[in-house]
Amino acid sequence: MPIDPDHLLTYAIPPVTQDYGPADIALYALSIGMGQDPMDLRRLAYLGAAGEARAMPSIATVLGHPGFWLADPATGVDALKVVHGEQGMTLHRPLPPRGRITARTRVTGLIDKGPGRGALLYSEKTIANENDAVLATCRGTTFLRGDGGFGGASEPVRAPHQLPDRAPDHVFDTPTRPEQALLYRWNGDPNPLHLDPAVAARAGFPRPILHGLCSYGCAAHALLAVLCDYDDSRFGAMDARFTAHVFPGETLRTEIWADGSFRTRAVERDVIVIGNGLFQHREGS
Ligand SMILES: CCCCCCC[C@@H](O)CC(=O)SCCNC(=O)CCNC(=O)[C@H](O)C(C)(C)COP(=O)(O)OP(=O)(O)OC[C@H]1O[C@@H](n2cnc3c(N)ncnc32)[C@H](O)[C@@H]1OP(=O)(O)O
């Protein structure tokens, strides 16, 4: 049954209010592979190893996470075929290490790629503090592989950032662990595609794949290290496209250019898994 674009475009995703603190931000940092060097105090700052933990900027992508709402049969979406296509975020101010936030997620667009090609669902999440000041805005593209050809518009699509045509200036490796997705899911995405081999097989993968937002967090760590010297107040915005799946246990190598362009490679298979990346410093930092 084709999806009903009007229903999806107006689908009411409930707002999420969340109290978070040191345990949540440490879980997030561990689940994106931070803390593997127990001698590096700059990384360990994000785990609260010495003093209060700092919030990794990319935790904005999971704070107030609405969950895997596309699995609701009322959306009409073939949830088994859903993959995360693109992710962006802008931090308007540094995220405090603890607090109460309210996240509001809404669908902002739906693009029909045609029968057999899929559809793109654009969404936006804003995170506000108790004074209603917006801390961060997150932008997502969900690739609905099984839902093209519903008769919708094929424009406008977001143009992906073009990377420089020269070798990167820096590389930063993050080894992931075979059980990475089992830990990462506790940030709010229990999609069985990442956990259950039978579900992964039905979706067309030989084994469960890593959450896109986990790979995104690994890349954010690389950008924080290389371009911000672990100072989260300098982290402004980050946009990227998920170009191929990642298997937990692979090493993610983020290749970074001085202008903020980046991409991430799964080293063992030599496949670009995040492409078209663009990082920006916070204005004035
Ligand atoms: C906030 C949102 C939250 C969403 C959460 C969802 C729940 C999560 O638990 C799910 C996950 O985390 S899944 C894991 C992470 N994602 C992935 O592994 C997907 C990796 N990418 C792919 O498989 C393919 O690129 C694929 C399948 C994406 C596209 O592959 P192809 O079909 O081969 O694409 P191609 O033929 O090259 O291009 C078709 C048209 O689509 C555009 N496009 C390609 N990749 C895109 C992408 N990643 N995002 C957006 N658009 C994309 C192309 O430009 C092309 O457009 P056009 O026809 O206009 O040229």
Ligand 1: centre distance to CA 230 (Å):
30
pTM: 0.97
Tell me if 71 sits within 8 A of 219, measured CB to CB.
Answer: no
Ligand 1 site, CB within 6 A: 68, 82-86, 113, 120, 123, 140-143, 145, 189, 191, 193, 209, 211-212, 241-245
Per-residue model confidence as pLDDT tens digits over 115-148 = 999 999 999 999 999 999 999 999 999 999 999 9
Cis peptide before 73 (omega within 30 of 0): no
Per-residue model confidence as pLDDT tens digits over 38-78 = 888 888 999 998 888 999 999 999 999 998 899 999 899 99
Tell me if 59 sits within 8 A of 28, measured CB to CB.
Answer: yes
Residues 184 and 180: their CA atoms lie apart, in Å, by: 6
Q: Which domains does the chain have, with CATH numbers?
A: 5-281 (3.10.129.10)
Burial readout 16-51 (b: 16 or more C-beta within 10 A, e: otherwise): bebebeeebbbbbbbbbbbeeeeeeeebbbbbbeee
Ligand 1: centre distance to CA 85 (Å):
4
What ipTM goes with this model?
Answer: 0.97
Minimum CA distance residue for ligand 1 atom 18: 245
